[in-house]
């Protein structure tokens, strides 16, 4: 796949991600005069979702925990596929963290979700796993290249 195709797919992914994170009413993203919602304690919401998984239901837990990881997998795979400089694990991880932090701050300011430090952790983990998927694929396709990660 050419670089232009990867850029186009990445742009489409970012547009879809932004829609679901900021505008999808099915995800509870409505503009309102509601209170600010935020969690600044690491692992608080992750623990809560896991502890009450039986009463919350599988879909709710999967959407929150696995969904936050899966949503950022493409971010971690597209970046190093488009930008050679991002073929470093630390840089892709940092950019995943920064992008997730921006998303959470925008959700807080616009009141279309909640600022949750656990979402940042899960999103960053998704970006990291996405990078690992890219790295394994890249090493398989280009076995003689020098390691950049």
CA 42, CA 31: separation in Å to the nearest integer? 26
For the stretch 4-33, pLDDT in tens is 999 999 999 999 999 988 888 766 666 655
Q: CA 21, 149, 101: angle at the middle one, nearest 5? A: 25
Asked if residues 127 and 76 have their Cβ atoms less than 8 Å apart, the reply is: yes
Helix (H) or strand (E) holding 130: helix 117-141
Tokens 């596929």 — which residue? 81
Strands (E) across 18-133 are located at 38-39, 115-116
Summarised one tens digit per residue, pLDDT across range 79-130 is 999 999 999 999 999 999 999 999 999 989 888 878 999 999 999 999 999 9
- Please give the Cα distance from 101 to 93 (Å, whole number): 12
Domain positions in the chain are 3-27+38-141
CB distance 147 to 138 below 8 Å:
no
């Amino acid at each position: 796949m050419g670089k232009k195709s990867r850029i186009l797919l990445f742009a489409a992914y970012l547009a879809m991600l932004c829609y679901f994170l900021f505008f999808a009413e099915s995800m509870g993203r409505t503009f309102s005069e509601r209170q600010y919602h935020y969690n600044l304690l690491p692992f608080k919401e992750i623990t809560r979702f896991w502890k009450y998984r039986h009463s919350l239901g599988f879909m709710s837990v999967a959407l929150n925990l696995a969904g936050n990881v899966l949503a950022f997998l493409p971010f971690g795979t597209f970046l190093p596929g488009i930008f050679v400089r991002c073929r470093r694990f630390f840089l892709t991880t940092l950019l995943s963290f920064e992008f997730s932090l921006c998303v959470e701050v925008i959700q807080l300011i616009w009141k279309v979700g909640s600022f949750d430090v656990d979402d940042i952790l899960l999103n960053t983990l998704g970006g990291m796993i996405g990078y690992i998927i890219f790295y394994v694929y890249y090493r398989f396709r280009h076995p003689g290249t020098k390691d950049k990660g």
